[in-house]
Structure 1
Amino acid sequence: MCKWTATTAGLHSDLNFAGDFPSCPFTLVCLSLLFLASSALGGCPPSLVQDPLRMLAQGSNCSWTLERHARSYNHLEGDVRLRRLYSANRFFLSIDKTGKVDGTRRKNYADSLMEIRSVSVGVVAIKSVSTGLYLAMSKKGTLFGSVMYNSSCKFKERIEENGYNTYASLRWKHRGRQMFVSLNGRGKPRRGHKARRRHPSTHFLPMLPT
């Protein structure tokens, strides 16, 4: 059976098992504590690991907490998102079947729906769902749609202070400076070496498709 004692420092348990489980008036609690003691408790907050009673009292579920924690990070390797990249200049980035990169005002334009896949931490590949072409940047900073996925299709994704994302070529730089995906005020792509992180033309909001 279970015998519970209290101390002035707070509640703690003195568990002794004898006989069948049904004889324990706190069977559910006892089994829960056994499960917690026998598991590795990986990822649980240290304060809760040290105080399992507090964990139970607060209704904590470490597996659920870990799952939620993992989903809150968009740069984990293997993560895939369907988004439309909406620029601060109010254009949606698109890649047509000829490989032309452009901006469009049309919210539900098929060529603007992108699959954004994390290929490593903080690095993504961007592919048009309708055309199957990958967003790529040449050595000269020109954006184009690539049939094959290669190192020119990798972009460093960063969340800026204003909440927008920027995408800089992982492979290419211009005189040591990063080259960014950018759409100008007319919705046309700018050469990467002419874009700067602070420019609104390089800022994109990954919007959920509707």
Structure 2
Amino acid sequence: MCGWMAADAGLRSNLTSAGTAHLGRPLRRRPPALCLACLSLLLLAGAALGGCPAGPGHDPLRALARSTNCSWTLERHARSYNHLEGDVRLRRLYSANKFFLCIDKTGKVDGTRRKNYPDSLMEIRSVSVGVVAIKSVSTGLYLAMSKKGTLFGSVRYNPSCKFKERIEENGYNTYASLRWRHNGRQMFVSLNGRGKPRRGHKARRRHPSTHFLPMLPT
């Protein structure tokens, strides 16, 4: 054992001598205080660049490693679409065929060219992300679609009154029934060239009859 310890001591002596000869000065460890100062400066720089704030059980090293991703995570949360739930807009739905969608007091859905027709003012409420309920302000009836694709005004809000709202490439919106489909295809709110509602299964997303522009009331 004594021989092994002596050999080990000799090896350490040789390594120290080699390091000293190569660097021109003895090898020294950095003082702990200097390392802590460098770490503090790095943490301050990360905070200045938008790093995450410290909290309970905060680990400086882990925070430093994740500092470049924290701001991105917060931004993603800020862009969450959940805040749209309950959003209410007053609009007139103006079709690409130049008719305003309206619901009269009998529940009949039709199109009119009269710009300020009372029955055409709609309350569009977001009931979930991308899904809306459309209600006539003057009559209090909800736009609904039957299983056969017929549009009508419903006194009570029910699953047939939910429509998926989507902004198309031309800037117009389409409204497809959330509840009902025809042979697996979506059924859309649609007004033909005479302002009459079309059956949902006869309408297609690209048809101008299904495109509506939500216009602010004047």
Work out whether the TM-score is over 0.5: yes
Give the structure 2 partner of residue 148 of structure 1: 156
Mapping for residues 70-109 of structure 1, pairs under 5 Å = 76-109=84-117
Q: Which has the higher strand share?
A: 1
Using structure 1 for the length normalisation, give the TM-score.
0.68
- Cα gap change, 1:75/1:128 in structure 2, threshold over 3 Å: closer, same or farther? farther
Which structure: larger Rg? Answer: 2
Mapping for residues 122-141 of structure 1, pairs under 5 Å = 122-141=130-149
Distance 2:82 2:208 in 1: 22
| Identity level (%) | 82
Alignment-mate amino acid for residue 210 of structure 2: T
**Cα displacement (A) at 1:204:** 0.4
Mapping for residues 43-192 of structure 1, pairs under 5 Å = 66=78, 69=79, 76-192=84-200
Give the structure 2 partner of residue 57 of structure 1: none
- Cα gap change, 1:120/1:81 in structure 2, threshold over 3 Å: closer, same or farther? same
Query: Does the CA-based 8 Å contact 1:75-1:118 persist in structure 2?
Result: no
Q: Deviations over 1:111-159 (max 9, x none)?
A: 1111111111111110001110000011111100000111111111111
Flag as ranges the 4+ runs of structure 1 deviating above 2 A. 10-14, 36-40, 46-50, 73-76
Q: How many residues are aligned here?
A: 164
Using structure 2 for the length normalisation, give the TM-score.
0.65
Question: 2:196 aligns to what SS in structure 1?
Answer: coil
1:196 to 204, 208, 217: 204
Distance 1:47 1:79 in 2: 34
Which deviates more, 75-84 or 138-147?
75-84
Query: Does the CA-based 8 Å contact 2:82-2:129 persist in structure 1?
Result: no
Query: Does the CA-based 8 Å contact 1:77-1:120 persist in structure 2?
Result: yes
- Cα gap change, 1:120/1:12 in structure 2, threshold over 3 Å: closer, same or farther? closer
- Cα gap change, 1:104/1:115 in structure 2, threshold over 3 Å: closer, same or farther? same
Give the structure 1 partner of residue 53 of structure 2: 37
Unaligned 5+ residue runs, structure 2?
1-37, 57-66
Q: Deviations over 1:77-118 (max 9, x none)?
A: 211111111100011100011111011111111111111111
Give the structure 2 partner of residue 22 of structure 1: none
- Cα gap change, 1:106/1:75 in structure 2, threshold over 3 Å: closer, same or farther? farther
Query: Superposition RMSD on alpha carbons, in Å?
Result: 3.2
Alignment-mate amino acid for residue 37 of structure 1: P
